[in-house]
Structure 1
């Protein structure tokens, strides 16, 4: 294991690119085992996430100065990316230091000719960084978005075709920025006002969410577990658009709830808090390992009404034999609303998966439809922005299930916020500096028999 921040960052970048490792899961484990100081851990995090997030732009810059016929080995390319990120994006790191550190990293793995190559390319990047202009790329606007904001071309095209130039650029820009740290206050343990005062007293900068009254943005952050109140269960990290899902479902004390695809449990815990720990939540997920994360969150937040169940949603009717007041289907999706928070995800996604996922989403809704009581509610949410996974799924579900009607959710939204889809709300990443999220709500108007 590397003993330097840049070495750790290179390890994360290389494993994400060459082995498909998830940076957000791998980095905390590597940092925990390292002997880096808190300051160096913060630097390693910034370098790893920043390089992965900006990788498309960095590759474009690098290849302007590398010979096109020169086949660059994957790890050498990662070293170049790490160096170029510091040169082009980080003013506080002197260019000479960034170049020299990249050269030293290459020397540790390759012969001198490789380190000479790394040195030559990065010095050219440094000399010419103030001359870089993306305006000439605007003739092909999708390519412009792809290169300037570091998105795969197919994603840039999808945003452009779906939302037009102005919104597409705003979305790409938001996805290229460092996301805020959003926390949700556990109002069963402490009021939002009281916790805000305690955080400010401890030296944190706090900003209330515009989407949810129990959500706030906190700076500086550092280690999540080091934030005041973590061990006591006073808060959990949850994006504000995800927190809004719980408010739209609007669970009440004493109700029975099913939350499918529930792990790691942020929305489940929020619902339990809104229910004041009274009632029942059956939290299902196909992964037992992921449900263990929900168990940990449940225990830390002192929540007693959550019953975990490891099962595929499409087989849920074999295990649950009674109807419930409300069901949440926060379905697996393409995650194109979370690209800022998961910087390496954009490079592993493919357009083909969107259609496959939309079919899975519809199957999940079909599977839980009979479990909703007459008069009960069903909420569908996905952290994406594609029409096929959002409005397309809702259209198909309503066509197949006339026993449900669409609910106008305006009363569950903030006062100044309006629904912007005929089926619910589509939050885009740039609007609140949050994850992109689609939410629709249905009410069951006719009773149906449970499938055997």
Structure 2
């Protein structure tokens, strides 16, 4: 007989991977759900909700625990700390879970995992929170806006301070709120294989809710499905999971017939495939990345797409490839970044990133740019993009590049829907902000190589 599976045990295993072992949340969650594919959809949804919700609200949950526990979060045993976190999440955020069930299950798990002597502690802290949930004291918004925003939206204080300085209180608040909104999955129709109308019908046949996406007429937002991999239209290569912000890179690049395009950090290949589609069977796209694993991801997507004008190659973007010098009509440099624009997809980014790590990323971005700019033909195009909203990684890098190398910004208004045009797009770059725009936080700049 197989032992019954306890969902909360599974959640604790995922959190241990993410928090203690520093695995990425989307990978830890996906791998676990793949392992337990046989579980009921409702149980899998519970595992996803509690894992993602606990991570989303972790700073706030820890703040509450510190109010009601004599032992502070930093001093707790990691297992007990995570157990309390998931239980507080269920108590405060899930009406479907009775308070008593969340508390009793936590006590049982503590005993089962060998923490019999801490059963009373777990029980006492959780019952104290249940009794006093109306009396939780939060920082004063007017007196301590950075502390208030950090705790209420579970965002590290250094990020809040930076955004307040760059974007002001109102925009910062909208961005922080946006990370808690369910936004569905954005997909790009492979228009070489199927029309957008036919794709909608295919998806609706499988019971999937389909809505048009903002800004681009070949993009859709889908919801109410189990896993992407289980969707027949995905298995057939009829669509690609890609945010609008990422699709705009190919629009801004504006490839022409027979262009040679190099994408230097391409995995998993969404932008490269989009560009290859736009070339309509002509030209060549080289989708490059650093490791065999990443190149494998690109290759898998190329095969699914059935495009013949794109190849996947392993190449370190920091190492000059002499054969590529001045060969590219278009160079795509979508570079490794802090990822602070996509925190609603990868919640744990905010805990893993630090000011020091961000500085290291800026240095890496510049190291890559000073290598790969050489691949652009004279008169050719370099599109620089990141999925973050911090100026050091974005416009400051563009200015750094133009000060040293023969590039100038070029207006991107012609390639954008009217509602995205602004003074900066006229100049040559776009900063998308989560919650302000209907897309992920993302930066795109278009530069022309001058003689």
Alpha-carbon offset, residue 171 of structure 1: 1.2
Contact 1:181 1:221 in 2 (8 A): no
Q: Compared with structure 1, are the counterparts of its residues 8 and 395 closer, same or farther at alpha carbon in structure 2 (3 Å cutoff)?
A: same
What is the alpha-carbon distance in structure 1 between the residues aligned to residue 4 and residue 414 of structure 2?
53
Contact 2:326 2:374 in 1 (8 A): no
Task: Pick which of 137-146 and 174-183 moved more.
Answer: 174-183
Alpha-carbon offset, residue 38 of structure 1: 2.2
Alpha-carbon offset, residue 379 of structure 1: 0.3
Q: Match for 1:377 among 373, 376, 381?
A: 381
* TM-score for both structures, normalised by structure 2: 0.94
What is the alpha-carbon distance in structure 2 between the residues aligned to residue 211 and residue 431 of structure 1?
14
- Kindly indicate whether residue 129 of structure 2 is the aligned counterpart of residue 125 of structure 1: yes
Q: How many residues get paired?
A: 445
Q: Match for 1:426 among 419, 431, 435?
A: 431
Per-residue CA deviation, residues 11-31 of structure 1 (Å, 9 max, x unaligned), is 111211111111211222222
Residue pairs, 1:137-156, within 5 angstroms: 137-156=141-160
Question: What stretches of structure 2 of length at least 5 have no aligned partner?
Answer: none
* TM-score for both structures, normalised by structure 1: 0.93
What is the alpha-carbon distance in structure 2 between the residues aligned to residue 68 and residue 137 of structure 1?
27
Alpha-carbon offset, residue 113 of structure 1: 3.0
What is the alpha-carbon distance in structure 2 between the residues aligned to residue 294 and residue 17 of structure 1?
29
What is the alpha-carbon distance in structure 1 between the residues aligned to residue 183 and residue 138 of structure 2?
24
Residue pairs, 1:28-427, within 5 angstroms: 28-34=30-36, 35-68=38-71, 71-132=75-136, 134=138, 136-321=140-325, 323-401=327-405, 403-419=406-422, 421=424, 422-427=427-432
Contact 1:263 1:293 in 2 (8 A): yes
Alpha-carbon offset, residue 81 of structure 1: 0.6
Contact 1:255 1:279 in 2 (8 A): yes
Contact 2:65 2:72 in 1 (8 A): no
What is the alpha-carbon distance in structure 1 between the residues aligned to residue 181 and residue 117 of structure 2?
35
Task: Pick which of 421-430 and 162-171 moved more.
Answer: 421-430
Contact 2:171 2:436 in 1 (8 A): no
What is the alpha-carbon distance in structure 1 between the residues aligned to residue 217 and residue 313 of structure 2?
30
Per-residue CA deviation, residues 154-196 of structure 1 (Å, 9 max, x unaligned), is 1111111111111111111112334431111111111112212
What is the alpha-carbon distance in structure 1 between the residues aligned to residue 219 and residue 257 of structure 2?
20
Task: Pick which of 358-367 and 49-58 moved more.
Answer: 358-367
- Kindly indicate whether residue 441 of structure 2 is the aligned counterpart of residue 436 of structure 1: yes
RMSD of equivalent CA atoms: 1.9
SS at match of 1:290: helix
Question: What stretches of structure 1 of length at least 5 have no aligned partner?
Answer: 447-452
Q: Compared with structure 1, are the counterparts of its residues 129 and 434 closer, same or farther at alpha carbon in structure 2 (3 Å cutoff)?
A: farther
